[in-house]
Amino acid sequence: MARFKDKQKALELREQGQSYSQIKKVLKVSKGTLSSWLKDHPLSRERIKQLRDWNEQRIEKFRRTMKEKRQKRLDLVYKEQKKFLLPIKNRELFLIGLGLYWGEGSKYRMDNISLSNTNPDIIKFYTHWLIDCLGISKEKMRISLHLYKDMDSKKEISYWSNALKIPKSNFCKPYIKKTSSEFINHKGTFGHGTCNLRIGNSRLSERIFMDLQIIANEYGCKRA
């Protein structure tokens, strides 16, 4: 008797345009049972489309909700870590910059210091480090860009000049790669090409190299 009532209820819900999943939630019966009961009661194409669209909207709503939760979590972490990290003292700033140079800077010549990156924030920090920790003026900074053949050189020079607050007169002629930027798979990474910022200063270069050697020796690395 209970089974008969469930079947009648299933047919009633089906007439209302509900899907198998929706009916299962109400009646707590298997999909196989519903298939047997409702095999002669298919939904219209229009109703199937409505359910599909509704499902897509629900999925999108879920994604937005999760994105908002994640952003709230990140905002909280940012707030907590900001209290922990700031203010950064000059010695700490110097060590951060030294670590950046160890990872990203050129270590092949002793007559200049040079660092290249596609990320404007990294180059901005490097510029800040050179000025505040090493006493280098912007007038002594020379910049060259590595661009792709489909990039507008003047536009990219203007971009980096504005981003770094360094006059265009400090920029050398860009190196143009024959490859087209549209074939690069790293989304957004190469949006403005690669920026190389260098300083011709042998004494400063020697100091940085020795600073890096001190750290390497302190933590058990062998002298090259």
Q: Looking at the domain assignment, is residue 52 inside a domain?
A: no
Please give the residue range of the domain that contains residue 32.
2-43
Quick one: 112 and 198 in the same domain?
yes
Q: Which residue has the higher pLDDT, 178 or 72?
A: 72
Quick one: 106 and 165 in the same domain?
yes
Examine the pLDDT at 43 and tell me if it is beyond 60: yes
- Condensed to tens digits (0 to 9), the pLDDT of residues 118-130 reads 999 999 999 999 9
CB 175 within 8 Å of CB 143: no
Q: Is 118 exposed, middle or buried (0-12, 13-18, 19+ CB in 10 A)?
A: middle
Quick one: 20 and 126 in the same domain?
no
- Condensed to tens digits (0 to 9), the pLDDT of residues 163-208 reads 999 999 999 999 998 877 665 544 445 689 999 999 999 999 999 9
- Condensed to tens digits (0 to 9), the pLDDT of residues 134-151 reads 999 999 999 999 999 889
Q: Which residue has the higher pLDDT, 164 or 57?
A: 164
Tokens at 159, concatenated: 């971009």
Average pLDDT score over the chain: 86
What's the total number of domains in the chain? 2
Q: What is the pLDDT of residue 87?
A: 95
| Half-sphere exposure in the Cβ direction for 61 (13 Å, CA) | 6
Q: What is the pLDDT of residue 2?
A: 59
Q: Looking at the domain assignment, is residue 51 inside a domain?
A: no
How many residues are recorded in the chain? 224
Question: Rounded to the nearest 5 degrees, what angle is found at the Cα of 117, between the Cα atoms of 111 and 118?
Answer: 155
Q: Which residue has the higher pLDDT, 122 or 65?
A: 122
Q: Looking at the domain assignment, is residue 21 inside a domain?
A: yes
Q: Which residue has the higher pLDDT, 8 or 181?
A: 8
Residues in CB range of 168: below 8 A, 6 or more apart: 157, 158, 161
pLDDT band at residue 37 using 50, 70 and 90 as cut-offs = confident
Q: Looking at the domain assignment, is residue 198 inside a domain?
A: yes
Residues in CB range of 47: below 8 A, 6 or more apart: 17
Helix (H), strand (E) at residue 165 = none
Q: Looking at the domain assignment, is residue 80 inside a domain?
A: no
In the block, residue with structure tokens 């661009």 = 147
Examine the pLDDT at 224 and tell me if it is beyond 60: no
pLDDT band at residue 56 using 50, 70 and 90 as cut-offs = low
Q: What is the spatial distance between Cα 184 and Cα 44, in angstroms, rounded to a whole number?
A: 46
Coil, helix or strand for 195?
strand
Q: What is the pLDDT of residue 187?
A: 45
Quick one: 129 and 191 in the same domain?
yes
- Condensed to tens digits (0 to 9), the pLDDT of residues 97-114 reads 999 999 999 988 888 999
Q: Looking at the domain assignment, is residue 67 inside a domain?
A: no
Quick one: 120 and 33 in the same domain?
no
Q: What is the spatial distance between Cα 180 and Cα 151, in angstroms, rounded to a whole number?
A: 8
Residue 77 CA, distance from chain mean position: 17
Quick one: 178 and 121 in the same domain?
yes
Quick one: 29 and 132 in the same domain?
no
Quick one: 119 and 178 in the same domain?
yes
pLDDT band at residue 14 using 50, 70 and 90 as cut-offs = confident
Q: What is the pLDDT of residue 34?
A: 76
Question: Rounded to the nearest 5 degrees, what angle is found at the Cα of 47, between the Cα atoms of 46 and 48?
Answer: 90
Residues in CB range of 164: below 8 A, 6 or more apart: 120, 123, 124, 127, 143, 195, 197
Mean pLDDT of 80-93: 96
Examine the pLDDT at 32 and tell me if it is beyond 70: yes
Examine the pLDDT at 40 and tell me if it is beyond 70: yes
Examine the pLDDT at 1 and tell me if it is beyond 70: no
